[in-house]
Structure 1
Amino acid sequence: MGIILLAIILLVIAADAWVRLAPIDPARFVVAGRAKSPGDHPEPGGFQAAREVEDPQVQMVALDKIIRATARTRRVEGSPEAGQVAYVTRSAFWGFPDVTTLWVDGQTIQIRGHLVFGRSDLGVNKARIQGWLDEAGL
């Protein structure tokens, strides 16, 4: 019985380490061809929103500040000045990563969040993105 329990514990630790340490494919940060018309766009495993704004660069800087202040979120690529930024937000317990990309397309701010592992994000990307947009007044 003790060996089975130890095997289960080791399996759980290995699974957690794999989720936390597995590299994220850089292709997940690519935004070319992903811009959408203004509005909200649910996706399998994620969510995308586009907002038409007067000054996209100013809004991008404001959103970047809000996003970087979010728990367990870090910027992994780009900058507001470059016009594209990618972030990874990890769940509290398992550390499951969600990738969010923020970019300017013409007069729109585009923001897309999606899971890395699994098929359903249970709506967390939509809730997170809408919270950021609400905080930014968008």
Structure 2
Amino acid sequence: MVPQSNRVEKMKMALWLIAGLIVLVGAYIRLAPSDPAIWHNTPVGDANRDLRGGVVRVLETGPDGLAQLNEIAMASPRTKVLAGSVDDGMVTYITRTKVIGFPDYTTAQQNGDTLRIYGRLRFGRSDFGVNRNRVDGWLARMQP
């Protein structure tokens, strides 16, 4: 039979290992590099789609839709430009969740009067509608 103090020490060690693993995973989520070659790609599709891990929106905005969206996105908490610019006609934003810092990527491209937006998660399979809510919220704030 293992003495009580030995079991307690093993439990403490296991808890420290689990805590260390959680810290390492959290650090990876926050510090993993975001490669523009992977995330800054032209959104495709001609119709709105709600995806398990993201959203696609296609709308007629006139030629200044991307500029309007850029102002709104840049005013959003924890959002910054990963790649591109309004002048380039395509911008990819990275928005991180408040607590854990999960990154979500939103690419918007202006093609004539058509604005295509693709918001998606990086980690996991489902975003529970977070990207849909963010993108739809941005679009609701755009001028008609």
| Distance (Å, rounded) in 2 between the aligned partners of 1:102 and 1:63 | 8
Aligned to 2:59: 51
The answer for the alignment partner of 1:135 in structure 2 is 141
**CA–CA separation in structure 2 for the residues paired with 1:94 and 1:28:** 20
Unpaired runs of 5+ residues, structure 2, are 1-10
What's the TM-score, normalizing by structure 2?
Answer: 0.86
Report deviation, 1:42.
1.3
1:63 equivalent among 69, 77, 87: 69
Question: Contact conserved, 2:49 with 2:56, CA < 8 A, in 1?
Answer: yes
In structure 1, give the amino acid aligned to 2:16. Answer: L
Deviation at 1:4, TM superposition (A): 1.7
Deviations 1:15-35 (A, max 9, x none): 10111111234222111xx33
Tell me the number of residue pairs that the alignment of Structure 1 and Structure 2 aligns.
133
Alignment match, 1:110 = 116
The equivalent residue for 1:18 is 28
Q: Among residues 23, 28, 41, which one is paired with 2:49 in the alignment?
A: 41
| Structure 2 CA distance for aligned equivalents of residues 29 and 43 of structure 1 | 18
| Aligned match for 1:27, one of 29, 33, 38 | 38
Shift of 1:41: 1.2
**Shift of residue 98, structure 1, vs aligned partner:** 0.5
Once the 2 structures are TM-superposed, how far is the Cα of residue 99 of structure 1 from its aligned partner?
Answer: 0.6
Runs (4+) off by over 4 Å:
none
RMSD: 1.4
Rg comparison, structure with higher value? 2
In the aligned structure 2, how far is the partner of 1:74 from the partner of 1:28?
A: 14
With normalisation by structure 1, the TM-score equals 0.89
Deviations 1:17-68 (A, max 9, x none): 111111234222111xx3322x5211231001011123x2x22111101101
Structure 1: tracts of 5 or more residues without a match: none
* 1:106 Cα deviation after fit: 3.1
Q: Percent identity at matched positions? A: 37
